[in-house]
């Protein structure tokens, strides 16, 4: 079957990266059933032929109006689709959508009429803000990392930057490669506009936020960058939990050692 990716190496490379990351999410045990979703702003790869492609779905409402998204295009994981399937067949388990001129609705244009993720309000609200702020970030990832979600069940970890400091102090790399830390979004209904609004607000200060008792949501330059930040945080959470499982509270790097890291690596915090 003909695909929109045929003859478009740059667009195909972006979708291939989504498939690669989808495989990592599954291998990590973060993507049970249809858990998690990925969207990528692919507007820069859109040519006149794509712009003229007819809709292959009816017009669908986003649920929010996002003026910055006028004329933009996104690759979106399909709702109910499995990451482990997407890893092999990204265009059967996701689709490319065009945001319409009212900035409140969209159509699917390729390859198949796979309905986008139920978390589209969160993804598109964040993409709109990234465009408005002139950011070069193009990808957003939501997934269910076991240890980080487990930590979100303890209220004492949910106060501002408590988790950030614990996770940074487990291994130097976490501060270096997730330099803004981990924000916390109090529980909201999955797929809701309230969750989207709370996510947007918290992402002003962080690249990765923890959705209480649900998962994480990250933004990045591309899908690999967003994944890497979740991965380093998850690694720290594993070290913390392994230490606790061995019967002790891990010492953690000292504040002086973490300050030294910030100076040596020119980190923002």
Q: Which residues bind ligand 13P (CB under 6 A)?
A: 34-37, 77, 79-80, 117-119, 142, 190
- Ranges of beta strands (E only) in the chain are 37-41, 60-61, 73-77, 94-99, 105-110, 139-143, 182-185, 208-211, 215-220
Q: Which is nearer to Zn ion, 169 or 199 (CB)?
A: 199
Q: Which does 90 bind (CB under 5 to 8 A by kind): Zn ion, ligand 13P, none?
A: none
Give the contact letters, 201-240, x = binds to Zn ion (CB under 5 A), - = no: --------------x-------------------------
Distance CA 51, CA 70 (A): 13
Residue with tokens 């809701």: 192
Q: CB within 8 A of 8, min separation 6: which ones? A: 45, 47
Tell the smallest beta-carbon distance from residue 259 to ligand 13P (Å): 37
CB contact at 8 A, 180 and 118: no
Q: Which is nearer to ligand 13P, 170 or 184 (CB)?
A: 184
Q: What Å distances lie between residue 123 and 156, 166, 268, CA to CA?
A: 28, 28, 25
Q: Which is nearer to ligand 13P, 30 or 137 (CB)?
A: 30
Q: Which is nearer to ligand 13P, 37 or 169 (CB)?
A: 37
Tell the smallest beta-carbon distance from residue 121 to Zn ion (Å): 13
| 121 near Zn ion, rule: CB under 5 A | no
Closest-approach residue to Zn ion (CB): 215
Q: Which does 77 bind (CB under 5 to 8 A by kind): Zn ion, ligand 13P, none?
A: ligand 13P
Displacement of CA 264 from its chain's centroid (Å): 28
Tell the smallest beta-carbon distance from residue 187 to Zn ion (Å): 12
The per-residue DSSP string of 26-79 comes to: HHTT---TT--EEEEE-GGG--HHHHTPPPSS--EE-SS--GGGTT-EEEEEBT
Q: Which is nearer to Zn ion, 189 or 256 (CB)?
A: 189
Q: Which does 192 bind (CB under 5 to 8 A by kind): ligand 13P, Zn ion, none?
A: none
Number of Cβ within a 10 Å radius of residue 253: 19
Length of the chain: 269
Instruction: Give me the catalytic one of 20, 58, 119, 132.
Output: 119
Distance CA 82, CA 32 (A): 8
Q: Which is nearer to ligand 13P, 40 or 239 (CB)?
A: 40
Distance CA 163, CA 59 (A): 42
- Of 115, 161, 121, 185, which Cα lies nearest the Cα of 269? 161
Tell the smallest beta-carbon distance from residue 211 to ligand 13P (Å): 8
Tell the smallest beta-carbon distance from residue 118 to ligand 13P (Å): 3
212 is catalytic: no
Q: Which does 57 bind (CB under 5 to 8 A by kind): ligand 13P, Zn ion, none?
A: none
Q: Are strands 60-61 and 105-110 parallel, antiparallel or unpaired?
A: antiparallel
Tell the smallest beta-carbon distance from residue 110 to ligand 13P (Å): 19
Q: Which residues bind Zn ion (CB under 5 A)?
A: 215
What is the set of active-site residues? 119
């Amino acid at each position: 079957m003909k695909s929109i990716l045929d003859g478009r190496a740059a667009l195909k490379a972006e979708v291939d990266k989504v498939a690669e990351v989808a495989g990592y999410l599954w291998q990590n045990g973060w993507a049970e059933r249809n858990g998690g979703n990925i969207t990528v702003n692919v507007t820069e790869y859109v040519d006149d032929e794509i712009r003229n492609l007819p809709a292959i779905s009816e017009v669908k409402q986003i649920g929010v109006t996002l003026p910055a998204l006028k004329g933009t295009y996104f690759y979106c994981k399909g709702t109910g689709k499995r990451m482990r399937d997407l890893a092999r067949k990204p265009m059967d388990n996701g689709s490319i959508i065009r945001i319409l001129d009212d900035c409140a609705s969209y159509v699917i244009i390729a390859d198949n009429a796979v309905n986008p993720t139920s978390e589209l309000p969160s993804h598109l609200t964040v993409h709109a803000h990234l465009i408005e702020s002139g950011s070069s970030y193009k990808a957003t990832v939501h997934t269910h990392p076991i240890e980080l979600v487990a930590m979100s069940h303890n209220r004492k970890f949910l106060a501002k930057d408590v988790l950030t400091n614990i996770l940074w102090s487990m291994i130097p790399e976490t501060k270096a490669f997730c330099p803004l830390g981990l924000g916390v979004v109090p529980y909201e209904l999955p797929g809701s506009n309230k969750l989207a609004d709370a996510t947007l607000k918290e992402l002003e200060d962080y690249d990765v936020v923890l959705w209480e008792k649900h998962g994480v949501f990250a933004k990045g330059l591309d899908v690999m960058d967003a994944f890497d930040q979740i991965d380093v945080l998850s690694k720290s959470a594993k070290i913390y939990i392994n230490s606790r499982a061995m019967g002790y509270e891990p010492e953690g790097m000292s504040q002086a050692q973490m300050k030294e890291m910030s100076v040596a690596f020119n980190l923002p915090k």
